Structure formats: structure tokens, C-alpha cells
A and B are shown apart, each in its own frame.
Chain A
Amino acid sequence: MNIFSKAGAALLYAFGELGSAALMIRSAFFWAFHSKIEWRQSLIQCMRVGVDSLPVTTLTSFFTGMVLALQTGSTSQNIFNEPIFVGTIVGFSLVKELGPVLTAIVVAGRAGAAMAAELGTMKVTEQIDALHVLGTDPVRYLVIPRYIACMVMIPVLTVYAMFSGIFGGFIVSASKLHVPTNTYWDDILNYMQISDFMHGFSKSFIFAFMIATVCCYRGLSTTGGAEGVGKTTTRAVVVSMVLVLVLDYFSTAVLVALGV
């Protein structure tokens, strides 16, 4: 097989996957408007995506805020001889970038992997076919609740991560850098506007939709038993994490162009 055949086969595969994922999204929209929402399932998924991810989100964002404050403070101490704008840099970094990106990566690695593995196992043990047979559609019963959970809980976790990180930065700036409390908070509140918050917050919806799509699609297209479930889970997590970073750049570019 020459290089052109290989490239062609890879392109065909990629477009095939994109097309199939698009069909799943279409099906999700169809069932969302043509059937009752499975609220019990949605609540269960909200618990798994949101509540169960809370400890790891807290740790990640808190320590990120702490290290940001430490780096900012020590660098400005070296340059200006005092730690200045620690709150501003920690706040903007977390609200516009790190809050949404870190939360998305944590949820993709934790809840996204669980989603892909669970749906993948259901696929290879014919439980997905059983849903068809018992009068419901897997997209309706399994995928829509996961979309709801991601679209509700990831933005909530993102806001929580922003506050948690800023608080972590505050602890370091107060205890280690000896920045006065008022200065830290004023550095954030004097410069930050609601549009800055909306910038980060709106990105969390984009990441949530992408994570739910990738993990559910990969799960439902699993083949090949236990080995297939393992491969599906790895691929879902890797693709989600890479896409978080890629989409972060492009969504930031669009939001900046729109003035958000």
C-alpha cells in the first residue's frame, strides 16, 4: 500500500467517524424533542459527572491557583522587587483559561472514561441491542442523560474551579508572599469584567458538548469484547483531552474576535 492509499484510507476513516458522530448528534436532537426526557437517568449521570468529580476538581484547581500565585509573586518580586498584580494574573488565568480547560480535562479523564467504558461494555454485551428491543432508543435512554449531565455539571464545576483556584492563590499570596488581603481581591475585582467571566464560562459549554459527544460516540461504536472496551476508553479520553486544547484555541479566537 503506497503513501497515497494510506492517506486516503485514513481520510475516509476520519470522515466516516465524523459522519457517524454527526448522525448520533442528530438522533440526540430528534429524541430530545420527540420523547420524554429520562430525568432519573439524567440525575444519576449528573451525580457521576458533577458530584463525583468535585474532589479531584477541587484539588486540581486549588493547587493550580496556588502555584500560579507563587510563580507570579516570585517573578514580580525579582523584577519589581515586590509581588504585584498577583490577584489579577491568578484571576484572569483561572477565569478565562485554566478554570474551563482544567475542569474539562479532569472530567474527560474521570467521567468521560467511565461513560465510554460503560457504554462500550453495554455494546459488546448486547445491552444496547436490548434497549432497541425493549421499546426505547439507546440515544434517548443513555446519550441524552449524559449530554444533560455534561452540559449542566461541567459549567457548574468550571465556575467552582475558578473560585477554588482563586482561593488557592489567595492562601499563597497572603501566607507566603504577604500580599495584603484587600490588595489581592482588589487586583481581581478592579480589572475583571463580566465579559471576562463569560469568556471562560461560554467555553465550558463547548467543552461539555464535545466531551459528551466523543465519549458517548466512542462507547456506542465499541467492538471486540473486553479488549475493545479498553481501546475505546483510551481513545475517548485521548481524543477528548486533545480536542479540549484544540477547541480552546479556536473558541478563544472566535470569542476574542466577537469582543467577549
Chain B
Amino acid sequence: MIEVTGLKKSFGPKQVLRGVSASVEDGKVLSIIGGSGSGKSTFIKCVMRLHQPDAGSIKVHGRETIGYRSEVELADLRRQFGYLFQEGALFDSLSVAENVAFGLQYLTDIPQTRYRAVARDMLALVGLQNVEDLRPSELSGGMKKRVALARALAPGPKCMLYDEPTSGLDPIMSDIINDLILDLKRKTGVTSIVITHDMKSAFKISDTIVMLHEGNFLLTGKPDDFRASADPRVRQFVDGSANGPIKMKLRDLD
């Protein structure tokens, strides 16, 4: 179980998270929705301790992690997670197979001779074949995303953090990735936190959804609670409407 209470994080004068609280039980999927720049990625980076939170509590499987400072403590914490980066974050200098197998040498006891076979299996899982020897620069945006997903899943993490897993993918591949997230949840009981803008995806995969707005969680509930919500800000986001209380800062056309 991952339990976050009163999490605060600022970058300089800009307060991104203003004391947010959320929890996700083992084997469940929590989706975080919210506008661009609302602090969704900051939230999961704080959970993973890629960012140092300013205040609050983060318990992972009952252990308070907010006080972790040493390299060893942080490395042990991060070992429990898989993380899909928004832009993939593939290593340019390595081939696709080396990228996918990268975590195996540090996170598993799998012998080196099996790395390539594992990489091939993981790539097949995300619908990619015969790309093992390509470089990331030779892949399309969607393929990079899927290679990054294969890399995150390869070590078999207990918890997965997905930063926009379906952005940049076509609708069919998006749905395949949604099914994959659900399949992993069913088969391996992996606990997941998913950041998404894609409401169709959020409704399909989530046990719980939270909406982040101006540094606070506006609504926490099941997908049906979001479908039924009368809050105009939630409605605007769920319906994807430009008109409503959430104003994006745009200059008027002359």
C-alpha cells in the first residue's frame, strides 16, 4: 500500500503541491488526472523520491520514506518501483534490447545470458518485434513509449508509476496498453499509479481517480463518482471543454 499524506512541494516561489493526500491499496490502480503543469508528475516523482518533498508523509508498504536521505535507503526504495517516463527517457547510447534489459543487472538475479530473451519477451508484450538492435533515435514516438514501458516492466516491480502511458499512441494501441495495465494488475497484483489526460483510459483502468487542480486534490472517488460529479471544474475536465471555470492562460487572437 502507498499512502501519501499532506504532501507539499515547491520549486522556488512556485507552490506545486499544497498538502495533497491519497492512497492506493496493493493490487489497485490509482489514476491522477489534471491539467498540464498541475503537478501530477511532481507527485509521483516525490513518491519515488526523484524530488525531495518539502513536507508530508509517504508510506510505502507501511514504511515512512520521507526521512530517507542516504544513497542506500533511496536505492532500496526505488527498487520497489517501475517508472514509465512521459517522454520515454531511453538511453541514446544503448540499443533497444540493452535499454529493456538495463534494469535486470541491478534489480534481478537473472543471468546475463538470458537478458536478450527477456528483452525480446517484454518487447513482444508491448507489441514490438524485430526492434532489438535498433537505436532509440530510429524509433517513432509511440514505439519509444512502448520500449520504455517494456523497460519499466522487465524487472517485475511491485509498484508501477505510469506518467501518461497512452499519450502519443494511436487509439488502438492506447487501448492495448490499457488492457496491459489491467492484465498486469490481475496476473501479478502490481500496485499502480497512473497519470493521464485520457479520460477514456482513466475510466477503464482505475479503481480510484483523483483530480489535481491548483496544487490540491479536487475530488477523490471511483470512476462513477467522476461520471456523476456536479462540480463544474470536474465536469469541464471530464467533458474536455474549453468553456468552464478552469481558465487556461491564452492571449486573445487579434
Per-residue B-contact encoding for A118-145, CB less than 8 Å = 1, 0 else: 0001100111011011111100000000
- The residues of B that contact A130 with a CB separation of less than 8 Å are 83, 85, 89-91
B103 touches A129 (CB 8 A): no
Q: Are A126 and B89 in contact (CB-based, < 8 A)? A: yes
**In the docked arrangement, what's the CA distance between A129 and B78, Å?**
11
Is B155 on the interface with A (CB-CB < 8 A)? yes
Q: Which B residues are in CB contact (< 8 Å) with A135?
A: 75, 78-79, 103, 106-107, 155
Q: Residues of A contacting B92 with CB < 8 Å?
A: 121-122, 127
Who on chain B is nearest to A133 by CB?
A: B83
Q: Is the CB of A134 within 8 A of B107?
A: yes
Q: Give complex CA distance A136, B76 in Å.
A: 10
Whether A132 touches B50, Cβ cut-off 8 Å, given contacts A30-B71, A126-B85, A126-B89, is yes
Whether, in the assembled complex, A27 has its beta carbon less than 8 Å from a beta carbon of chain B, the answer is: yes
Interface residues on B, range: 20 to 34
Inter-subunit contact A129/B106 (CB<8 Å): no
Complex interface bits, B232-249 against A, C-beta within 8 A gives 1, otherwise 0? 000000000000000000
For the complex, what is the distance from the CA of A121 to the CA of B82, rounded to whole Å? 22
In this assembly, does B17 line the interface, its C-beta being within 8 Å of a C-beta of chain A? no
Nearest CB of chain A from residue B60's CB, rounded to whole Å: 14
**Interface code A20-34, partner B: CB below 8 Å = 1, 0 otherwise?**
000000010011001
User: Do A127 and B91 have beta carbons less than 8 Å apart?
Assistant: yes
- Are B82 and A133 in contact, with the CB atoms below 8 A? yes
Q: Which of B48, B71, B155 contacts A31 (CB 8 A)?
A: B71
Min C-beta distance of B5 to chain A, whole Å: 23
Residue of B nearest to A139 (CB): B71
Instruction: Report the Cα distance A137→B76, complex, angstroms.
Output: 11
Which of B71, B81, B86 is A133 in contact with, Cβ under 8 Å? B81
- Shortest Cβ gap from B68 to chain A (Å): 13
A31-B74 Cα distance, complex, nearest whole Å: 14
Q: Is the interface of A mostly helix, strand, loop or mixed?
A: helix
Q: In the assembled complex, which residues on chain A have CB atoms less than 8 Å from the CB atom of B91?
A: 122, 127, 130
Query: How far is B81's CA from A134's CA once the two chains are assembled, in angstroms?
Result: 9
In the bound complex, how far is the Cα of B91 from the Cα of A83, in angstroms?
58
User: Taking the complex as formed, is B121 at the interface, i.e. its CB lies under 8 A from any CB of chain A?
Assistant: no
Q: How far is the CA of A258 from the CA of B87 in the complex (A)?
A: 55
Give the CA-CA distance A102 to B48 in the complex, in Å: 44
Please give the distance in Å from B107's CB to the nearest CB on chain A. 4
Question: Does any Cβ of A come within 8 Å of B203's Cβ?
Answer: no
Which of A122, A129, A134, A137 interacts with B71 by CB under 8 Å?
A137
Q: CB of B151 within 8 A of chain A?
A: yes
Shortest Cβ gap from B85 to chain A (Å):
5
Residues 204-254 of A at the B interface (beta carbon under 8 Å): none
- Check if B87 sits within 8 Å of A126, measured CB to CB: yes
Residues of A contacting B72 with CB < 8 Å?
A: 34
Residues of A within 8 A of B (CB): 27, 30-31, 34, 121-122, 125-127, 129-130, 132-137
- Write the residues of chain B forming the contact surface with A, with a CB cutoff of 8 angstroms: 45, 48, 50, 71-72, 74-75, 78-79, 81-83, 85-87, 89-92, 102-103, 106-107, 151-152, 155
23 residue pairs bridging A and B, Cβ less than 8 Å apart: A27-B71, A122-B91, A125-B87, A125-B89, A127-B90, A127-B91, A127-B92, A129-B45, A129-B83, A129-B89, A130-B83, A130-B90, A132-B74, A133-B50, A133-B103, A133-B152, A134-B102, A135-B75, A135-B103, A135-B106, A135-B107, A135-B155, A136-B106
Extra contacts besides A133-B78, A137-B71 (9): CB < 8 Å = A125-B87, A127-B91, A130-B89, A132-B48, A132-B75, A133-B82, A135-B75, A135-B79, A136-B106
Q: Which 5 A-B pairs have the closest CB atoms?
A: A135-B106, A134-B103, A126-B89, A130-B89, A135-B107
